Structure 1
Amino acid sequence: MEEITAPGADDADEQRTYTKLITAVSDYRRRHHRAGPDVLGPRPQGLDGEEWDHLTDAIDLYTHARVQRRLEQMRARTAAERAAILPPTSPLRRPPPDTHRPGHRPPSR
């Protein structure tokens, strides 16, 4: 459960989403007698499998949204720091080109 990152206290909407997700996962774990580090355990068969799929998707979407938000915050902080340090005429003051277009993949190494 600790792998599902809690949001900061300053974002009430994100806090509500996190609380709903943790409550749903905890309820699932209680009803299916799950314990241990694996959040949901192996995928069950039948209708329980559909619930497992739904919760797994919710965890993935929540995690993706948290990572995207953190990246946006880091980019904004970097741009603000660059603007504060560099003189107004510096060509480095321009923000880097946006490489996060849908379908764009960074070069593999």
Structure 2
Amino acid sequence: MAATRYRRFLKLCEEWPVEETKRGRDLGAVVRQRVAQAFREGESTQIADPATCDQMYESLVRIHTNFYKNKYPRLKDTSFTGVTVEECKLVLASVASSKVKKGLGSYQ
């Protein structure tokens, strides 16, 4: 049964996108690292608590598939600040240009 769990986690890691703009703090990279640590022996890894392992997998799948974003859609694509999703992504990017940061300086 550990082999099946291992393959499911590997498939999830393959599907999870890599966010190049968030180097060093990308959730996908952290998930890959934790899966590698948890399954050091690959398919032959012994799982101490299979129920917790399955619960973690299901939680990660919900995050990956935007389950709650789709279940509770937002009415608008902006927040109270008026900043758009694209502008937020630029500000939060690890390698954001100084021009973008200066342009949105009042929101930092």
Q: Find the structure with the greater CA-based Rg.
A: 1
Considering the TM-score relative to the shorter chain, is it more than 0.5? no
Alignment TM-score, normalising by the size of structure 1: 0.31
Alignment TM-score, normalising by the size of structure 2: 0.31
Instruction: Please state which structure has a larger fraction of its residues in helix.
Output: 2
Higher RCO (CA-CA < 8 Å; seq separation 6+) = 2
